[in-house]
Amino acid sequence: MEKQIIGIIGLGRIGSGICINLTNKGYKVMGYDVNKVAYKNCMESQKTGLFYPVEKIEEIKTHANVIILSLPTGKEVLDITENLSDFKGIIIDTSTLSIEELHKILDVVLKNQLKYFTCRLERGPKEAREGTLALYCGGNRDEFDYLLDLLKDIGEPVYIGSHEQATMLKLISNMIGTVMVVLNGEISSVIKSANIDYETAIKALSMGGANNVQFFRLLWQLKNEYQDSFSLDLAQHVVELAIKSSKDYYGINSLPLTELANNIMVIAKSLGFGKKDVSEVAKLNDIINNISSQGK
């Protein structure tokens, strides 16, 4: 597909990252966010002269060929989708949803005969800016083929199947990642207590069966030095969506590990942890075990 005019609704950490990446690759991007301060996140895009901040969604509907949604919850997605009822292009929804929220949105899509494409995301703001996000795609296969060049500029697309399948696989990924982050938080307390050099511990653990993709967060947990990535509040919200969707739509009766991890996150969140990243759940373990968080 040729480089068309892209609209992005939602310029948070991920949306602004996608904006910066696409303008750097020659796309004209029209951006909208209810919080006008969010436009500052896209200042880097203005260097290319290809970023156009807009005051109203109607401007995007009029000029964009494709609209990317990067919104915090299903409520915002539903509201925006209803607002886009007369949009003739393709809507790419990257927001994380429950199956229940997805079905409400698909009802609006069907009612207004919209072209809606599911594109759930993995990885974080850094990968959004670099164009290396993991994309779990679902919906019309012909739309996937049509959008493929754009999707490849955003990251690494995989066609999963239906809207529901792509949405659920994203939630499954969050379930796995969250359990690993909580476990690594416990492990960080043990490593500190054992007085093992942090870098050496991670190098050695990564060589065997303990290796996991969340080890970059383990170093944050060990040093008590956290980066802005995926907030605990958002992570806990998504895991609750995953638990509910698994039980309500797929007949799963119990998810004991995921539910335990969720409860731990709820407690950590109540203590004010996790503004920067979900891995701050480790602070709860340090408090419980009376462990100092000195870097090593």
Domains recognised in the chain with CATH numbers: 5-161 (3.40.50.720), 168-288 (1.10.1040.10)
CA angle 206, 209, 212 (to 5 degrees): 55
Mean pLDDT of the chain: 94
In tens, the pLDDT along 136-175 reads 999 999 999 999 999 999 999 999 999 999 999 999 999 9
For the chain, the maximum distance between any two Cα atoms, rounded to a whole number of angstroms, is 62
pLDDT of residue 295: 47
Answer yes or no: are the C-beta atoms of 179 and 155 closer than 8 Å: no
- The ranges of the chain with pLDDT < 70 are 1-2, 292-296
Answer yes or no: are the C-beta atoms of 92 and 67 closer than 8 Å: yes
pLDDT of residue 293: 52
Record the tokens describing residue 8, joined without a space.
């992005």
pLDDT of residue 2: 59
Start-to-end CA span in the chain (Å): 50
DSSP for the chain reads ----EEEEE--SHHHHHHHHHHHHTT-EEEEE-SSGGGGGGGHHHHTTT-EEE-S-HHHHHHH-SEEEE--SSHHHHHHHHHHTTT--SEEEE-S---HHHHHHHHHHHHHHT-EEEEEEEES-HHHHHHT-EEEEEES-HHHHHHHHHHHHHHEEEEEEESHHHHHHHHHHHHHHHHHHHHHHHHHHHHHHHTT--HHHHHHHHTTSTT--TTHHHHHHHHHT---SSS-HHHHHHHHHHHHHHHHHHH-----HHHHHHHHHHHHHHHTT--SS-GGGGHHHHHHHTT------
pTM of the model: 0.90
pLDDT > 70: what percent of the chain?
A: 98
